[in-house]
Amino acid sequence: MYGGYTRVPDAVMQLDLTPREEQCLVRLLSHRRNGSPIFPRVRVLAGSMRCSVRTVQRTLRRLEAKWVIVAEARYRADDSQTSNLYVPGPVLRPLLTATDAMVVGRPCDDRRPPVTTRPYQKKQDPGTQSRGRRSAYRPPATASDFVGQAYGQSNVHVPGGAPPQ
């Protein structure tokens, strides 16, 4: 499976699916990338769902009966069967279309911007590290020290700053 996250529409929770069917649907969607076909092996789904292969087969059949997915059999050149191709069914397709419209380009484009824009700085040895802005002792600030700043008054003395004139 891929790293990252799987985008699942909220409307999927309203489809009257059992917990096992929801789990199977989310696992199927986790194999879908940018509209690519979904064709995981049943054994792979069973391993990720922590259940038997037979349980996955029954769950996939129930999802097909509810028209959430449509399974298409795939065959090799020697006529032996390989993993099925799973296509979103008529119930799921409109939900995924609306969700895909929200994603622009890559799956990670909707992430928040970084909290800080400071460049990475290598940590110094604790013995040689300075305290930052000032190395002189400053008494702890109290709430009354900042009252003037909150109301735009510049005549209030701020510790460490120049005294008022």
Q: pLDDT per position in the chain (165 positions), as tens?
A: 446 777 788 888 889 999 999 999 999 998 887 777 899 999 999 999 999 999 999 999 999 999 999 999 999 999 999 999 999 999 998 888 777 666 544 444 445 555 555 555 666 555 555 555 555 556 666 655 555 555 555 555 555 555 555
Number of structural domains found in the chain? 1
Taking alpha carbons only, the member of 53, 106, 112 closest to residue 83 is: 53
Q: 51 is in which domain, residue-wise?
A: 10-101
For position 49, which CATH number holds? Answer: 1.10.10.10
b vs e for 102-141, b when ≥16 Cβ sit within 10 Å of the residue's Cβ? Answer: eeeeeeeeeeeeeeeeeeeeeeeeeeeeeeeeeeeeeeee
Residue 75's DSSP bridge partners are 81
Asked whether residue 138 is assigned to any structural domain, the reply reads no
Asked whether residue 137 is assigned to any structural domain, the reply reads no
Asked whether residue 58 is assigned to any structural domain, the reply reads yes
Asked whether residue 65 is assigned to any structural domain, the reply reads yes
Q: How many CB atoms lie within 10 A of CB 54?
A: 10
Asked whether residue 57 is assigned to any structural domain, the reply reads yes
Q: What does 33-47 look like in DSSP terms, one character per residue?
A: -TT--B---HHHHHH
Asked whether residue 109 is assigned to any structural domain, the reply reads no
Query: Whole-model pTM?
Result: 0.59
